Homo-oligomer: A and B are copies of this chain.
């Protein structure tokens, strides 16, 4: 079709890369023109990911910025590796959707503090990059040429907590206790993610201010965050549980639910659950949707907000496609309205 947007995926051999391919294949106005990855270059995607057998037989190529023929390019590379690729693509005029952490933090010093030697991002790139959470920055994303797609945990935490901070109902000092599926750790085999080490157990990791998604949450929420990620025996999904203090303890519980509904009113991918219902990651698995809710513990004066997303979709590939739609002027939900295949 003449009005197809040509797109390419760099980093096609990871879980996020595969998810991008899956979503882009079902997008009615997109044509996938290139798949790039290092280790699996030369192989058909269907060998690396058999779910594409019979559906997409394209061969993965080594990345070469000069040979990319696509209006928009998704970069699903590890942080540090992404920046030079993004710079090369941006210089050649492609719309770039970067799924790494390289451009998410506006402040270069903060980036340096948390990511160390990876700070080799040209300042003008960092300045141009729009943080790709449409629910916060929709207008800036329209027509954007460079998007820093958010991390999976920040997406969940922000969708849970923003409404209450913006409405000045809570103190800007949060605890984010979040639980993630294992695909968040990527496709690289390691003992920590070896099947028998994960099944039937749950554990926290990188707690007490050591996980790199912390500054990203703080930047977008404008609040201090204590972040505790957990690894759950499941492949996909993030559930964020955010603890906040009410600014005024006499505000009734219903007011919080109302604030949540008001904030996300009309958002195509954020569903505020009925009062009393609580989100379950299984209900959003495979979809770009977030389920959110809030409850108030009036006995002790605490507000508890929850959000469930699929880390690979709303937390990565789906959000990137949503940003693409905004960047190139397509309807925002195009290719993204699939319902979770529950169970």
Contacts and interface: CB of A to CB of B under 8 A. Distances in A.
Contacts of A279: 203-204
A93 B54 CA distance: 37
Interface in A196-240: 196-205, 207-209, 224-226, 228, 230, 232-237, 239
B232 A233 contact: yes
Nearest to A302: B226
A303 to B, nearest CB: 9
Contacts of A300: 173, 209, 224-226
A284 B236 contact: no
Given A202-B280, A285-B341, 12 more contacts: A15-B343, A22-B340, A22-B341, A25-B339, A177-B241, A181-B200, A187-B196, A195-B199, A201-B234, A201-B281, A203-B308, A208-B296
A187 B195 contact: no
Interface string A284-295: 111101010001
B194 A187 contact: yes
Given A51-B340, A189-B194, A286-B286, A278 B199 contact: no
B53 A343 contact: no
Nearest to A199: B235
Contact of A232 (B183, B204, B232): B232
A67 interface: no
Nearest to A28: B28
Contact of A237 (B175, B200, B297, B302): B200
A203 B26 contact: no
A191 interface: yes
A299 B173 CA distance: 11
Given A183-B343, A233-B234, A234-B233, A243 B199 contact: no
Contact of A196 (B55, B179, B183, B281): B183
B189 A190 contact: yes
B343 A196 contact: yes
Contacts of A337: 25-26, 55
Contact of A243 (B190, B243, B312): B243
A147 to B, nearest CB: 23
Contacts of A54: 270-271, 289
